[in-house]
Amino acid sequence: MSERPLPAAEVLGAVPRRLHVGGLWRDAEGCRTFAVTDPATGSALVEVADAAPGDARAALDAARAAQRAWGGSAPAERAALLRAADAALRAERLRFATLIVLETGKPWSEALGEVDYAADYLRWYAEEAVRLPGRYGQAPTGSGRMIVTRAPVGPCLLIAPWNFPLAMVARKVAPALAAGCTVVVKPAEQAPLAALALVGLLAGLDLPAGVVNIVTTTAPAQVVEPLLREPALRKVSFTGSTAVGRRLLAVAADGVLRTSMELGGNAPFVVFADADLDHAVEQALYAKLRNGGEACTAANRMLVERPVAREFAERLAARMAQRRVGPGSDLACDLGPLIDERAVAKVDGLVADAVASGAEVLTGGGRIDGPGHFYAPTVLADVPRAARIVHEEIFGPVAAIVAFDDEQEAVELANASEYGLVAYVFTRDLGRALRVGEAVEAGMVGLNKAAIASAAAPFGGVKASGLGREGGPEGIEEYLETRYLAFDV
């Protein structure tokens, strides 16, 4: 690969570490900071600002002060800014990918892919900014006229997780800015660096002060959650765990605050006996090991029709065992660490429970000793349906294989989850693909395909996987209010 990570010291030396509020970089109250660590080594990378509640309020004040002018700006101006951001991000691809590798440990090729994916949102919403829908029409009375327009909802709080520290932020910032909303960005404390760098990039593009603000903190419940009670805040867009999403929804209910919730998943990966098994195994490898399994779209339950279940499990185990586990900065490695020790302990607990209840380990099955938070790529065959691993989000490189007997049972098993983000269906029978694709309770379905995310498509789930969509024309609607003007001629 000709593109290589940049020297860590150079990239870390240039990354913003302070809060960005009202167009200025400033320290947190009391100059408090916290360390961001490299999950591949456990060692500290840099210290960033650790905001206090007053800092978060100041960021929201700045967003509120900037809202009127930004919301009234020409859509073409907002489009031009997002186009410039897209170009700048692609020009800085190596710098951003290096930051992502340092703070998450993910493989270099995946970090590069994440930068491209993030830039795709900036580009897509640059194009959408000038296409906001509206209508003018005659009312049924004949003399009446109706004008329906879209207006920005107002200042937004954008809360992101650590697993895609750049793309999850870009996926929110781009449609919000395109719609004319000002924002307060709150990246995850485990991986705030790419988000800080993105805000730095935007700030360098003559963005009016206060349009984009960023707050980093180790105490989100005390520092950021109170913003949901502030009347100045008009919307919260959250990506993270279902537990925190539920809590934020409860707080948002008080102020009848608009919300978008991209929450956890438990994706079924359904393989019928008539599927192209070579293809299904390769796609399963992607659906399971992308981001080391730390993806909301990760295949969590591999549901395989009984006649091919053993062969599928063995072939997947052989492919997973070939993965070279190590830090993303080592280009020879293609499976990175988990984010922290807590994540390793959780994955290990799920594997132990499955094995204790009768599952067979075909490869892996435990943590990898040494520095960093590594877990061996693991395939479990014959997993009992009651095992915890079938019902909980694994968020690690572990494939749990469950056999089924017919199409109806496959659908029942696929739907036996509180989650409904994404499902994958593999079969050569087109009618069955569509039947099962329509019957599974999921916001997204990959038919013979595991890589489904696209800036042009609506990403999001049903049931406990969330509310709302990100991406596509649907994504900008989350940041727009419908307004109706009536008059008689």
Give CA 196 to chain center in angstroms: 17
Which residues lie closer than 8 Å to 9 by C-beta, 6 or more apart?
Answer: none
- Which member of 155, 175, 264, 468 binds ligand NAD (CB under 6 A)? 264
- Alpha-carbon distance of 314 to 361, in angstroms, equals 10
Residue showing tokens 């800092």: 55
Q: Which is nearer to ligand NAD, 248 or 280 (CB)?
A: 248
Q: Which is nearer to ligand NAD, 210 or 220 (CB)?
A: 220
Distances (CA, A) of 325 to 132, 331, 337, 375: 46, 11, 8, 8
Task: State the minimum distance, in angstroms, from the CB of residue 250 to ligand NAD.
Answer: 11
- Alpha-carbon distance of 256 to 310, in angstroms, equals 51
Residue type, 132: L
Instruction: Say whether residue 478 binds ligand NAD (CB under 6 A).
Output: no
Which residues lie closer than 8 Å to 477 by C-beta, 6 or more apart?
Answer: 469
Asked if 299 contacts 424 with a C-beta cutoff of 8 angstroms, the reply is yes
Helices (H), 204-305: 220-223, 242-254, 277-289
Q: Which is nearer to ligand NAD, 265 or 328 (CB)?
A: 265
Task: State the minimum distance, in angstroms, from the CB of residue 239 to ligand NAD.
Answer: 5
Q: Which is nearer to ligand NAD, 221 or 486 (CB)?
A: 221
Q: What's the burial of 99, exposed, middle or buried (CB within 10 Å: 0-12/13-18/19+)?
A: buried
Asked if 337 contacts 292 with a C-beta cutoff of 8 angstroms, the reply is yes
Task: State the minimum distance, in angstroms, from the CB of residue 421 to ligand NAD.
Answer: 6
Instruction: Say whether residue 475 binds ligand NAD (CB under 6 A).
Output: no
Selected range binding ligand NAD among 104-112, 141-149, 263-271, 348-356, rule: CB under 6 A: 263-271
Counting residues that bind ligand NAD (by CB under 6 A) gives 28
Task: State the minimum distance, in angstroms, from the CB of residue 161 to ligand NAD.
Answer: 3
Q: Which is nearer to ligand NAD, 290 or 319 (CB)?
A: 290
Q: Which is nearer to ligand NAD, 264 or 396 (CB)?
A: 264
Catalytic option among 262, 294, 470, 477: 262
Instruction: Say whether residue 244 binds ligand NAD (CB under 6 A).
Output: yes
- Alpha-carbon distance of 179 to 473, in angstroms, equals 11
- Which member of 5, 155, 240, 337 binds ligand NAD (CB under 6 A)? 240
Instruction: Say whether residue 161 binds ligand NAD (CB under 6 A).
Output: yes
Query: Catalytic site residue 230?
Result: no
- Residue/partner pairs of 472-478 with CB below 8 Å, 24 or more apart: 472/124, 473/128, 473/131, 475/125, 475/171, 475/175, 476/125, 476/128, 476/132, 476/175, 476/178, 476/179, 478/175, 478/235, 478/237, 478/258, 478/260
Q: Which is nearer to ligand NAD, 421 or 440 (CB)?
A: 421
Instruction: Say whether residue 241 binds ligand NAD (CB under 6 A).
Output: yes
User: What string marks each residue from 191 to 230 as x (binds ligand NAD by CB under 6 A) or -?
Assistant: -----------------------------xx--xx-----
Closest CA to 397 of 418, 380, 381, 376: 376
Selected range binding ligand NAD among 52-60, 141-149, 242-250, 369-377, rule: CB under 6 A: 242-250
Beta-bridge partner residues of 484: 148
**146: helix, coil or strand?**
strand
Instruction: Say whether residue 252 binds ligand NAD (CB under 6 A).
Output: no
Task: State the minimum distance, in angstroms, from the CB of residue 471 to ligand NAD.
Answer: 10
- Which member of 159, 176, 335, 433 binds ligand NAD (CB under 6 A)? 159
Category of 110 on φ-ψ map: left (φ > 0), alpha (ψ -120 to 50) or beta: alpha
- Which member of 281, 296, 344, 440 binds ligand NAD (CB under 6 A)? 296
Instruction: Say whether residue 189 binds ligand NAD (CB under 6 A).
Output: yes
Task: State the minimum distance, in angstroms, from the CB of residue 262 to ligand NAD.
Answer: 3
Q: Which 352-411 residues touch ligand NAD, going by CB under 6 A?
A: 393
- Alpha-carbon distance of 105 to 99, in angstroms, equals 9
Beta-bridge partner residues of 380: 361, 400
Instruction: Say whether residue 118 binds ligand NAD (CB under 6 A).
Output: no
Task: State the minimum distance, in angstroms, from the CB of residue 194 to ligand NAD.
Answer: 13
Q: What's the burial of 377, exposed, middle or buried (CB within 10 Å: 0-12/13-18/19+)?
A: buried
Instruction: Say whether residue 170 binds ligand NAD (CB under 6 A).
Output: no
Asked if 262 contacts 296 with a C-beta cutoff of 8 angstroms, the reply is yes
Q: Which is nearer to ligand NAD, 180 or 475 (CB)?
A: 475
**438: helix, coil or strand?**
helix
Task: State the minimum distance, in angstroms, from the CB of residue 236 to ligand NAD.
Answer: 9
- Which member of 84, 188, 270, 436 binds ligand NAD (CB under 6 A)? 188
Selected range binding ligand NAD among 6-14, 140-148, 154-162, 193-201, rule: CB under 6 A: 154-162
Mind telling me the catalytic residues?
Answer: 262
Positions in the binding site for ligand NAD (CB under 6 A): 159-163, 168, 186, 188-189, 220-221, 224-225, 239-241, 244, 247-248, 262-265, 296, 393, 421, 461, 466
